[in-house]
């Protein structure tokens, strides 16, 4: 979050510079487990976050706090900004052989490959056996 604060400062110096922030869909988890609309005011939709021991709670709170800072900069200084909340961002396609083996998602994928069994959420529907997953490679997201 401190990095975001420093970047906001840079965006405000001399002339306003557009700010593009890659947040995360995890910010919306406390919001009735529904994604926030693009127009939602983060300060009103999720006015506080609870610190707890749930998986990735610190990450979610840091993304939420950064969005709050950006919203304040927009309100106070009319900072042009856009926030993206992607779901899973995967490794760069150029480095397909490099895995973070200790990562929960990497372990899940390796388990699916080894067992040839995937959770229902990986299917288009219960009656359809074609696998899918909504994740994008970082090079695609960045472009």
Q: Does residue 30 have a pLDDT over 80?
A: no
Residue 124: strand, helix, or coil: strand
- Residue 132 — very low, low, confident or very high, per pLDDT cuts 50/70/90? low
pTM: 0.75
Q: Determine the pLDDT at residue 133.
A: 67
State the pLDDT at residue 70. 95
Distance separating alpha carbons of residues 57 and 63, to the nearest angstrom: 10
The residue with tokens 């959770």 is: 119
Could you tell me which of 40, 20, 140 has the C-alpha nearest to residue 87?
Answer: 140
Largest CA distance in the chain: 58
**Every domain of the chain and the residues it spans:** 2-84, 89-142
Indicate the average pLDDT of the chain.
Answer: 83
pLDDT in tens, 79-130: 999 998 888 888 888 987 777 788 888 888 888 889 988 777 776 665 555 6
């Amino acid at each position: 979050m401190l990095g975001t604060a420093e970047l906001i400062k840079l965006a405000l110096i001399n002339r306003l510079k557009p700010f593009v922030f890659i947040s995360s869909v995890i910010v919306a988890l406390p919001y009735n487990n529904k994604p926030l609309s693009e127009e939602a005011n983060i300060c009103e939709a999720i006015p506080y976050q609870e610190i707890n021991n749930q998986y990735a709670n610190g990450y979610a709170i840091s993304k939420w706090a950064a969005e709050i800072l950006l919203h304040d900069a927009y309100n106070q200084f009319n900072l042009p900004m856009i926030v993206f909340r992607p779901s899973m961002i995967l490794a760069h396609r150029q480095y397909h052989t490099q895995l973070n083996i200790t990562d929960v998602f990497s372990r899940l994928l390796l388990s699916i490959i080894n067992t040839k069994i995937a959770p229902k959420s990986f299917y288009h529907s219960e009656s359809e056996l074609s696998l899918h997953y909504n994740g994008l490679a970082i090079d695609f997201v960045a472009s």
